[in-house]
Structure 1
Amino acid sequence: MDRTEKLSLTSRLLAHVDNGTTDYADGLMRVPFGAFNDPELAKREVEVVRRHPHIVAHTDELPNPGDFLTTELIGTPLLVVRQNDGSVKAFSNVCRHRGARVEFAEKGCKRIFSCPYHNWAYGRGGELRAMPHAEDFPGLDKAEFGLVEFPCEVRHSLVWVIPTAGEDLDVRAILGDKHDGELEQTGIGASHQHRFETFDLDMNWKVVVDGVQDSYHLCQLHTTTVCPLLHGNIYALDPHGKSWRLVVARKTLEQIRGKDPDEVDVRDYTLANYTIYPGTMLVTEPNHFEIWTITPHPDDPNRSRTTIRLLSPAKPETERQVRFFDKNWELLMKTLLDEDWHVAGTITGNIATGGVGELVYGRNELPGQMFHTVLAEDVAKLTR
């Protein structure tokens, strides 16, 4: 973040604090309840989401050539492998012979991945290396029967995958040069993954996305957990394409007043959420990072999956440092499980049975309005 941007952001946020304002949408937005539980709409949303990048790992999980992990992304089984040259590739974890799962282990290190059904064997690069009784498959070109490869990129120490073959993936372009450069300056590229956990939720995925981007509720729902740290309903939002940077003022922001702007950094007094549409958030705080990956269930609009990663700037070297990041994780889990998801978890059920026809997003809920607008536009493009 250059000096001009720091000064501008500081000025915007302090003005919002002084005036009790925030960045606003032009007006109200109404979203029908059907947008959250219509099965046909949900299918089209899944198709949209499968064409965009999602974070599936931190590079700490794949330190050496041959290291692999298996996971599922919007119903697609993935095999993610560190290559001999240090790059990372992602494949469909499905054998090209009869469609069985190739690798059942959650993680490990291998040179060869053999399907247990008929022992078709694939190399680290996904190529078909061997098959029993190859003479019984006359005319089959092994070069054409490697594992299906998905677009994959490592950026900011994170492994990004689009679970649709043939799509273009350029994380820097998606973020934009300015926001990508800001993330690089935070040191996230040298980060250490302290904890991560995946949650299968009985919630529509858009309810979860809405919650992570919503600063309106911070001092209503989180009176003793988050509100002492952050200003509720005060943020600055800057879009780039379908992505945006959402900066929330910390309660310490007022300490900047009167100080030499070249001696303070507004990032030490804020929380920045770099949102990569449709459901990825890179949250930067002064002493750690949170990485969110939110995806719909492939078949059920009332279910979703969220993976959260807590990253430290470097690997903790002392027990005290470990406890510090453990406490950050514990606060995050308490806030989510006891407050956010405890309340937001009722929304999906209420949509089905509550007799209310729509949700209303205020002018102060600009991130939610932007998200629902872009998603609706992308879904509409599928039907043209």
Structure 2
Amino acid sequence: MQREDKIELTRRLIAHKDNNTTDYADDLLHVPFSVFNDPELASLERDVVRRFPHIVAHVDELKQPGDFITTDLIGTPLLVVRQSDGSVKAFSNVCRHRGAKVEFDDSGCKRIFSCPYHKWAYGRDGSLRGLPHAEGFEGMDRSQYGLVEFPCEVRHGLVWVVPTVGADLDIAQVLGDKHDAEVADTGIGDSFQVRKETWKLDMNWKIAVDGVQDSYHLCQLHTKTVCNYLEGNITAFDLVDRSWRIVVARRSITDVRDADPDTFDVRDYSLANYTIYPGTMLVTEPNHFEIWTIVPDVDDPNVSYCTIRLLSPSEPTTPREKRILEKNWELLMETLHAEDWFVTKTITDNVSHGQVDELVYGRNELPGQVFHKMIMSDAAAMAEERRKNAGAKA
């Protein structure tokens, strides 16, 4: 982070601490409770989410040429492969012959990917390399029958994919120059993946995203855990198009009130969350990083998936380093399972039967307001696009 930015951010957080304030929205936001279980709205949102980038891997999962992972991204089956030139490509894990899955393993290393149904074979680059009894396909242009490729980029040590053919993908542009440089300065690009876990959640995906955007609840819900380290309801918020940075003050923020800015790193006194709309969060802490990816289920609006990666600035080698990371993970799991997700699961339960028409997001819940306004606007635009497309086909 640039020196002047560090000074300005530190002053903002200390001022909020002194005045018991935060960055505020202009007004309250009223959200219909039904947005969390409306099947038609969920369908529109899925199409919106498919047009934006999501993290599918850390570079540690794809170290050598031919290393691959398979995954599912909002119903799209993916085959992500390290190329011979060191780049990474993402393909639809669907054979171009009769549509069977090409690769069934979760990960591995291969030179050729062969569909088990009729043994059509594809190279690491997705090109069709061979097929049995080729005489039966005389006249077919093989160059047109490689695996379908999706936009894919490696940035900050993470593999990003947009599950829509031909979509734009430029993570530096999405983050904005300032925030992209800040993320790079954290050293996340050289990080080591300590662990990764994915959960199927019985809640709408927006409920899960809301929880990661909300500093208001930190010292209300997490009284015996996170509140020991972080200030609740004290946040500096900065928006760049469709991404934003949320910085929450640590309890120790006032220790640097009069310190020389060159003598401290603001990350030691705060927690930063770089959110890439709609459901990706890069969280920077003093001794580790957390990478969150939250997506909706392909069918059920009351189901979502959350993947969290715990990264270390470098590979832990000593028992103490490993123990610290394990404690960080244990604290995160305690707050999620026993507190956050335990409570937010009830939101899904209450949508249908609570007889409440709308929810209110306070002025102090600025990140949540921004998120909901964006997804509501994009869903409305998607509905209009569908209407126009239907009219054109009529």
Q: TM-score, normalised by structure 1?
A: 0.99
Amino acid in the other structure paired with 1:301: P
Deviations 1:34-67 (A, max 9, x none): 1111101100000000000000000000100000
Mapped to 1, the partners of 2:304 and 2:142 lie a distance apart of: 37
Q: Which residue of 2 aligns with 1:299?
A: 299
Q: Which residue of 2 aligns with 1:40?
A: 40
Q: Does 1:101 align with 2:101?
A: yes
Give the alignment of 1:105-124 within 5 angstroms. 105-124=105-124
Q: Does 1:79 align with 2:67?
A: no
Which segment is superposed worse, 300-309 or 315-324?
A: 315-324
Shift of 1:381: 1.4
Which segment is superposed worse, 31-40 or 258-267?
A: 258-267
Segments of 4+ moved more than 3 angstroms = none
Q: Which residue of 1 aligns with 2:5?
A: 5
Matched-pair identity in %: 68
Q: Which residue of 1 aligns with 2:369?
A: 369
Mapped to 1, the partners of 2:176 and 2:322 lie a distance apart of: 34
Cα RMSD (Å) of the superposition?
0.7
Q: Which residue of 2 aligns with 1:30?
A: 30
Give the alignment of 1:134-145 within 5 angstroms. 134-145=134-145
Q: Which residue of 2 aligns with 1:170?
A: 170
User: Any idea what SS the aligned residue of 1:376 has?
Assistant: helix
Shift of 1:363: 0.3
Q: Which residue of 2 aligns with 1:281?
A: 281
Mapped to 2, the partners of 1:181 and 1:126 lie a distance apart of: 33
User: Any idea what SS the aligned residue of 2:72 has?
Assistant: strand
User: Any idea what SS the aligned residue of 1:31 has?
Assistant: strand
Shift of 1:306: 0.4
Q: Which residue of 2 aligns with 1:181?
A: 181
Mapped to 1, the partners of 2:249 and 2:332 lie a distance apart of: 18
Deviations 1:237-264 (A, max 9, x none): 0000010000000001010022112222
Shift of 1:353: 1.3
Mapped to 2, the partners of 1:374 and 1:330 lie a distance apart of: 33
Mapped to 2, the partners of 1:47 and 1:29 lie a distance apart of: 24
Q: Which residue of 2 aligns with 1:358?
A: 358
Amino acid in the other structure paired with 2:259: K
Mapped to 2, the partners of 1:340 and 1:381 lie a distance apart of: 32
Q: Which runs of 5+ in 2 are unaligned?
A: 385-394
Shift of 1:279: 0.2
Q: Which residue of 1 aligns with 2:250?
A: 250
Deviations 1:165-219 (A, max 9, x none): 1001000000000000000000001000001100011100000000001000000
Amino acid in the other structure paired with 1:338: A
Mapped to 2, the partners of 1:313 and 1:162 lie a distance apart of: 26
Mapped to 1, the partners of 2:192 and 2:279 lie a distance apart of: 22
Q: Which runs of 5+ in 1 are unaligned?
A: none
Q: Does 1:220 align with 2:226?
A: no
Deviations 1:290-314 (A, max 9, x none): 0000000011100000000000000
User: Any idea what SS the aligned residue of 2:219 has?
Assistant: helix
Which segment is superposed worse, 202-211 or 311-320?
A: 311-320
Shift of 1:22: 0.1
Mapped to 2, the partners of 1:279 and 1:204 lie a distance apart of: 12
Q: Which residue of 1 aligns with 2:21?
A: 21
Which segment is superposed worse, 315-324 or 333-342?
A: 315-324
Deviations 1:126-160 (A, max 9, x none): 00000111110122111000000000000000000
Mapped to 2, the partners of 1:212 and 1:257 lie a distance apart of: 27
Mapped to 2, the partners of 1:201 and 1:117 lie a distance apart of: 33
Mapped to 2, the partners of 1:192 and 1:262 lie a distance apart of: 27
Give the alignment of 1:45-64 within 5 angstroms. 45-64=45-64
User: Any idea what SS the aligned residue of 2:226 has?
Assistant: coil
Aligned residue pairs, count: 384
Which segment is superposed worse, 317-326 or 65-74?
A: 317-326
Amino acid in the other structure paired with 1:117: Y
Q: Which residue of 2 aligns with 1:204?
A: 204
